[in-house]
Structure 1
Amino acid sequence: MIAFFLRMRRRLARVLFTAAAAALPVLAFAHGISAEDRERMLSGGYLQYVGLGATHMLSGYDHLLFLFGVVFFLNTFRDVAKFVTVFTLGHCITLVFATFWGITWNYFLIDAVIALSVMYKAFDNNGGFQKHLGMASPNLLGMVFGFGLLHGFGLSTRLQQLPLGDDSTAMLLRILSFNLGVEIGQIAALTVMVALLAIWRRRPSFERLSFAANQLLMVLGALLLLMQLHGYLHDSDPDSFRFPEQEHRHIHEDMDVEKTVDPSRNTL
């Protein structure tokens, strides 16, 4: 019997890994501000920013995975509303203020930390703090608010890739329009998530597979982390690295990398 369960566990692990690996190419291209979006926003009105915010959230796999983890075990509408409100408040603060004041960072690194938040929630859902660390889970409401601030900062780095203009009033209205779209997209996604989870909880399979579902969530978070770190290390835009292109070239000049060949020896 024990051997049977061990075989089933290994098979389940292979299934989870295969599913996560199959999803990775979709995740890799689902998130971000495209060149077409940037061009469209040059003459776009506020409604276009609302639409962009909604589609950005609906394609924001990292934000949606985290929200899925947050509402996974919430049984009442009151609990869902409480945690979602705290998360929304957090990401609105950093989205609006960081964008308006031009506070930014390398978005690959921010998204890597957001991926860690997905892994954190899956670890917490499976009782990881109690099982592996011998401690109670940190205050969940506070953690959701803190991660909301982080997710909003991630959204801000994407929004700052758009032409927001120089007029402060118009810029603020564009930011608020984008933020409104994000909230609309979040409500739409959460409606589907909460409805599906409510249906699933009534079935016996929920008890059997809830642990595996959160394990899959953790695997997806880990793959997103690797994807973002890979993007950071192989970024095609040199100026988005910690060292601008000019500094990178100066380092090579200081090392005389381009002077390692002595052409005068050709005449020997």
Structure 2
Amino acid sequence: MLETAIESHHGQPLRVARLGQGEAVVLLHGYPENLQVFAQLAPGLAVDKQVIAFDWPGMGHSADWPGGATPLLMAKRLLQLLDEWQIDKAHLIGQDMGGQPALVFAAVYPTRVRSVVVMNSLVSGDTETSWEITWLRRFGVNKVLLRHFPRLIFWRALHTFLPRRAPLAPALYQDMWRTFRVPAVRQFIVRMCAGYEGQLPRLPAWYRQVACPVLVLWGGRDKHFPVAHAHYLKTQIPQAQLAILPQATHWMVLAQAEEVLARIRTFYAGL
């Protein structure tokens, strides 16, 4: 588990974990997790970097901020945090729904980013996903499930994001479930899903504006966002490096953290 503290931003609490010293690396999570999804990855990165993980405003133990929840608005919130942390430039690592705002941030604020690593994200609205994702996006039942059946969503995540017979550590389970079960958090996620879906057609134009070094790092056994998404992203960002970890799953930052860490450190060494 990462040690965390509650900071105040815009008069609202924000949960943050900080490790190490050096160039800043900011970790961006998706859902139903929170910053603790990086519990296995962050310490390895902190050997020679300042690593910051935070719960997005509206998720985890962080209070919501006014406004929408599109990838562009999430990128703007990240910019506000970097300004308040007095970080001029940062490496960004985005997992799941943290990947899209990381890429948009790099396109819109190019002078504030050193590099981007994007992992296991919905980066194309036309590329194949799991039947669950296709069904949820097409019929919008995610609103009903998120509002009324959080345990079902969380259970499904545990059984599809991790390798078989690799349960989530009890402390991680308790922390993630404790925050995901909060109605206000799930309501924010409903807004976020709608915002991401609405902005999905615009994302390729931003991808093509990304000029910083990019690593597209994908799990070969991601059951929801197949490697076709990684290959698509590579076509949109020609300078990007593409790496597939054949046995890795969606939550590879937890289950295959050593492999993920090794590949990211190799990427950083070449910058």
Per the TM superposition, whether the score is higher than 0.5 is no
Largest Rg, 1 or 2: 1
Structure (1 or 2) with the greater strand fraction: 2
Structure (1 or 2) with the greater helix fraction: 1
* Structure number with higher relative contact order (C-alpha < 8 Å, ≥ 6 residues apart): 1
TM-score (norm 1): 0.30
